[in-house]
Amino acid sequence: MRILHLYHDVMNLYGEYGNIAILTKVLKSCNIETEVICCGLWEKPDFSSFDFVYMGAGTEENQKLVLEKLSEEKEAFQEYVNKGGAALFTGNSFEILGDMITEETGKQWQGLKILPFRVRQQKKSRLTGDAVFSTSKIREETVGFINKCSCIEGIEIPCFQVLMGMGNEDRGKKEGITFKNLMGTHLTGPLLVKNPYLLLALVNDLIKKERKEGLTLEEKESLEKGVLAESIAAYEVTLRELKKRMEKEK
């Protein structure tokens, strides 16, 4: 299993490297030989040679640097996505996948146009807060933290439904994007560390490509009682406390 950590040197806020660390730990626990390749800003990625692509959050300035560099590889990346290649973009990294990013000054940046949505950014104040989302990918809720300065319009297929927190359009009820096997969300935490059941769903999909079938019941139970036990315990505490807050705010 070859994993690409894309632009790890500039898109590395919020400890998002933890997503790669726990993903590889779980894959290796399932006896899946795993190799992580870190691709820096000035390196050229060969998307066709990877099974999974990950990019984390960065500053708005670094986001624009990444947009310019990835634009040079747009056709290769779009081919990877269109063929069903698995990818996860967290934080503001997924904003570059749309049509346009407009800064508060009015300056516009053409996006990769992988999906038809538009981003408006402002720097007067950041939009931050805890979040609880639901998704059709798993029956359990997804938790995390959002820290952004953008409003996103035009996303047709979101990744999550908002139960608590901000959506793509601040108070909207839809968050993130999904297209084929690509998922994008502003949730950080790191996402996969804080959400072991979402991680299991991702691992299950990746393993299907490797051996034509997903996790067995025995493997799933072994992971839940072993390498993911602490993550599950922390997730349950976090979800319980956030649900208490949700009840108070009703």
Give me the CATH number covering residue 198. 3.40.50.880
Q: Tens of pLDDT along 64-79?
A: 999 999 999 999 999 9
Return the H-helix or E-strand segment holding 146: strand 138-148
The rounded distance, in Å, linking the Cα atoms of 11 and 17 is 10
- pLDDT (0 to 100) of residue 189: 87
Return the H-helix or E-strand segment holding 196: helix 196-211
Q: Tens of pLDDT along 152-205?
A: 999 999 999 999 999 998 778 999 999 999 999 999 989 999 999 999 999 999
Segments in the chain below pLDDT 50: none
- pLDDT (0 to 100) of residue 209: 85
- pLDDT (0 to 100) of residue 210: 83
Could you tell me what percentage of the chain is helix, strand and coil, using 3-state DSSP and rounding each to the nearest 5? 40, 30, 35
- Give the number of domains in the chain: 1
The rounded distance, in Å, linking the Cα atoms of 10 and 59 is 8
- pLDDT (0 to 100) of residue 170: 74
The rounded distance, in Å, linking the Cα atoms of 114 and 117 is 9
Domain hosting residue 71, numbered range: 2-249
